[in-house]
Amino acid sequence: GQNIDQPTEMTATEGAIVQINCTYQTSGFNGLFWYQQHAGEAPTFLSYNVLDGLEEKGRFSSFLSRSKGYSYLLLKELQMKDSASYLCAYMDSNYQLIWGAGTKLIIKP
């Protein structure tokens, strides 16, 4: 199957921390991606996890548990410019990206 789920919308406060979860079900797996997409723009790459564990990159971190079909994107020290949609996607056995619907993150002052 090709199921991938993430929350539709989340709200957080500037300076705080937010965790965006993503769950998936697939028989073939070649990694989990997170992209950021601002309104009217193309997605930009944030992270790629293919092994279990936490990958940290500045204010953003991404976690993967393959056995649980679960990933999260952690954003620290939130800034207003972080307001965007965050898309998770897994790469299937054909190396094709299967996309979630995206999580719209709203940052409030």
Partner 1 sequence: GAVVSQHPSRVICKSGTSVKIECRSLDFQATTMFWYRQFPKQSLMLMATSNEGSKATYEQGVEKDKFLINHASLTLSTLTVTSAHPEDSSFYICSARSTGRREEQYFGPGTRLTVL
Residues in contact with partner 1 by CB under 8 A are 30-31, 35, 40-45, 48, 50, 87, 91, 95-97, 99-102
For the record, the structure tokens of 59 come out as 């204010």
Instruction: Select 94 or 109, whichever has its Cβ closest to partner 1.
Output: 94
Strand partners, 84: 105
Rounded CA gap, 46 and 27, in Å?
Answer: 24
State the minimum distance, in angstroms, from the CB of residue 64 to partner 1.
13
**Other C-beta atoms within 10 Å of 27: how many?**
8
Instruction: Select 60 or 76, whichever has its Cβ closest to partner 1.
Output: 60
Residue type, 90: Y
Rounded CA gap, 83 and 75, in Å?
Answer: 11
State the minimum distance, in angstroms, from the CB of residue 48 to partner 1.
7
Instruction: Select 70 or 99, whichever has its Cβ closest to partner 1.
Output: 99
State the minimum distance, in angstroms, from the CB of residue 72 to partner 1.
18
Work out whether strand 53-57 and strand 3-5 pair parallel, antiparallel, or are unpaired: unpaired
State the minimum distance, in angstroms, from the CB of residue 85 to partner 1.
8
